Amino acid sequence: MRLVLLGPPGAGKGTQARRLSGLLGVPHISTGDMLRLAIAQGTDVGRAVREFVESGRLVPDELMEEIVRIRLRQPDTGSGFILDGYPRTLRQAETLDRILTEDGRRLDRVVLFRVDLNVLVDRLSGRLVCPTCGANYHRKFHPPKDDLRCDRDGTPLVQRADDRPETIRSRLAGYAAQMEPVADYYRRRSLLLEVDAGDAPDAVTDRILRGLGIDSDRPFDEVRRA
């Protein structure tokens, strides 16, 4: 199963991608996570992208193309992948097709997460992450057990630099302008599955699985083998 998840920041793509990855037994590839890791590790790529990521601006296409091409050629993508955060522009969508075609592959489905703007701002402004393990929390919807520390490793949680209110607004405005042409591109190819993602995570997972034609009542192992 080769899937792309599209949706605005805060739509819950990361949460759903992790669940689908477990269910389907294919890797979750988040370009945002890859870039943040590169920044934290101080690699050449990390130094090149730091300013873009922290201000919420898009990293240049040529650099993203290389990062995605290298990742999609790793052996764990043999049975598929869940791509989260790429493509973000029409040009990136065309590039992704080219990268896959080079290897004789193509996408199976593209899931578009639809969420009301006010819900997004609420979700993003309360989001907290663990800088050690990457776990996500939310001040209101999913608070950590112990006073702003990660439940898994006790690290003090932080707010992502690009989740500050002024950056949130510019990220969402940029998203809307760029995503509709991408959605259209996949709609024309009959790959697009639009999902109302404004509810709690379990309901959204069910909707996605139903839309993909996967029976969510079956045990995980059975779904994975299917």
Give the residue numbers annotated as catalytic, written as ranges.
13, 88, 127, 160, 171
Residue 20 CB, nearest distance to ligand AMP (Å)? 16
Compute CA distances 40 → 36, 124, 128, whole Å: 6, 21, 17
209-212-213 Cα angle (round to 5): 85
Select from 6, 29, 39, 86 the one that contacts ligand AMP (CB under 6 A). Answer: 86
Select from 120, 150, 162, 197 the one that contacts ligand AMP (CB under 6 A). Answer: 162
Candidate ranges 38-46, 84-92, 192-200, 201-209; the one touching ligand AMP (CB under 6 A): 84-92
Residue 56 is a binding residue for ligand AMP (CB under 6 A): yes
Residue 71 CB, nearest distance to ligand AMP (Å)? 12
Q: Determine the Cα–Cα distance for residues 143 and 55; give it in Å rounded to an integer.
A: 26
Candidate ranges 55-63, 120-128, 136-144, 192-200; the one touching ligand AMP (CB under 6 A): 55-63
With CA atoms as reference, report the closest residue to 175 among 1, 5, 7, 4.
7
Map the footprint of ligand AMP across residues 31-50, applying CB under 6 A. Answer: 31-32, 35
Compute CA distances 57 → 39, 112, 185, 207, whole Å: 15, 21, 23, 31
Instruction: Burial-class residue 136 by CB neighbours within 10 Å (0-12, 13-18, 19+).
Output: middle
- Residue 137: CB atoms within 10 A of its CB come to 19
x/- track of binding to ligand AMP for residues 96-135 (CB under 6 A): ----------------------------------------
What are the DSSP calls for 163-182, one per residue? GSHHHHHHHHHHHHHHHHHH
- Total residues contacting ligand AMP by CB under 6 A comes to 16
Residue 167 is a binding residue for ligand AMP (CB under 6 A): no
Which residues make up the interface to ligand AMP (CB under 6 A)? Answer: 9, 31-32, 35, 52-53, 56-59, 64, 85-86, 88, 92, 162
